Structure 1
């Protein structure tokens, strides 16, 4: 994702990134001319778990059950940030279905088209969670475009019901 943001900036476009906060990271900064916003999602920064140890969100949720209760404030923070930043955008491009949901559900405030790029665990693992398939189908079905990194991801998106015309 960072490579795409840098490439777009080099072409003269203004890019802003809303990213997941990690303990110790700045909540707002500019890196190489790119505005980066990382909304805090837990009142004790040291207890933020969603990026702990890496490996993707499904692994983190299995490894740290307490992380599950952090999803709602994480999502709310992303919705607020996307709503604010999205107002000045031409398009909102989310890079996984969780952020895609925040972009879709905050569209009433930013009124911009939403593109989601599925990355892997969001299309292969999240649908296995309770309500995960319904959530993924709901979000991707409300995007103007869905992009995938591989043919396997494209096939998985089609399998859960994404319209071929939006891929």
Structure 2
């Protein structure tokens, strides 16, 4: 703990983080980190990207970005994430050893230059491994919490990977995963789940993602929000559109997001003759999204399990839509079970089933009273379980606990 502050110091490790204010990269790690500043002096260590500052303070969070290659080639983590980037651009595998070395050296410098009381590592690999190494620590091991968000469990496979995951979990003082499906996955790889707790990230459901009486909901707009990668399942939604148009010829699909699959998805739209019915908006800032959720007739999240095994860890876009009272259609990807109760807070169809998607979307378009009821129930459920206020309090409690103990804590397998 620093002399100038009564608050303990927290080091957050993350590969996904906004590159600058207003960036469209996923911001959930920053949203949690800034809410932890009430109780901690928070420093975030994230990768540098071209155009980003090496050091800055944003919303009370001190951000340090480490270099790992030529600035113009520091592209391993953005626009789809590490795994998607490696699949789309195999040459980026050469960046991995430089990335790991840069991360290791940056942690070493931070630990040697300031007193770190506790670490929060986001993702088991590579941040969890780095927290386990703790280069530069000379005053004993710093207790750390590691949070798995999904890709580090589902997309990374093999006996060697499972061994690394178990090592990280064994060395961590506490572990969180963002859905019960992920807890089951840890059990299958033989990890010690006695210290694992299901605590998802949150959404601002009181100040940002809220319903608004000022907006009249469309009767013809289908909305998709997410990275344009395989596990989001957008291809199946595009395939469902011709069937939907037979019943609702004035419908259009609005796609918000960017990613490595954009070109092939655009080609598919053209091939199906849907260019006048599909709008690619691109990625938007978080504060720009509520308008679209409030306006859409239905929000579609057609998640699938990718060929690699990667799948949603939770799906916070569902929570955002629910917060705005937008009726949702999603699929049977296991993590959805934590969020959506079929026929109560949304409609669930088999994943990868375009005809079933079309039927469910048409049900909502055909029945306004059902759509309103689904949206209302979804909003109520989301506020009770997924508002940032609730989640930040839970993470604060875990971090305070492991800081006090400086030893492993055993946490029951349940969601608060």
- Measured against the shorter chain, the TM-score band is 0.7 to 0.9
Q: Alpha-carbon deviations, 1:102-123, whole Å to 9, x = none?
A: 1111256262012110011001
- Selected match of 1:14 from 41, 48, 51: 41
CA distance in 2, matches of 1:23, 1:157: 36
Q: Which moved more, 1:79-88 or 1:31-40?
A: 79-88
Determine if contact 2:145/2:174 at 8 Å carries over to the other structure.
yes
1:19-30 equivalent positions in 2, closer than 5 A: 19-30=46-57
1:116 equivalent in alignment to 2:146: yes
Determine if contact 2:183/2:193 at 8 Å carries over to the other structure.
no
1:162 equivalent in alignment to 2:191: yes
Determine if contact 1:127/1:134 at 8 Å carries over to the other structure.
no
Match for residue 91 of structure 2? 66
Question: What secondary structure sits across from 2:115 in the alignment?
Answer: coil
- Selected match of 2:59 from 23, 26, 32: 32
CA distance in 2, matches of 1:73, 1:109: 22
CA distance in 2, matches of 1:21, 1:121: 21
1:1-150 equivalent positions in 2, closer than 5 A: 1-9=29-37, 11-42=38-69, 44-54=70-80, 56-86=81-111, 88-97=115-124, 98-106=126-134, 109=137, 111-128=141-158, 131-150=160-179
CA distance in 2, matches of 1:100, 1:85: 16
Aligned residues: 163
Q: CA deviation at 1:150?
A: 0.8
CA gap 1:134/1:12 in 2 versus in 1, 3 angstroms: closer
RMSD: 1.9
CA distance in 1, matches of 2:66, 2:146: 20
Determine if contact 1:75/1:99 at 8 Å carries over to the other structure.
no
Runs of 5+ consecutive residues of structure 2 not aligned to the other structure: 1-28, 197-416
CA distance in 1, matches of 2:100, 2:188: 26
Determine if contact 2:132/2:168 at 8 Å carries over to the other structure.
yes
Runs of 5+ consecutive residues of structure 1 not aligned to the other structure: none
Q: By percentage of residues, which structure has more helix?
A: 1
CA gap 1:108/1:158 in 2 versus in 1, 3 angstroms: farther
Q: TM-score, normalised by structure 1?
A: 0.87
CA distance in 1, matches of 2:105, 2:175: 22
Q: Which moved more, 1:137-146 or 1:29-38?
A: 137-146
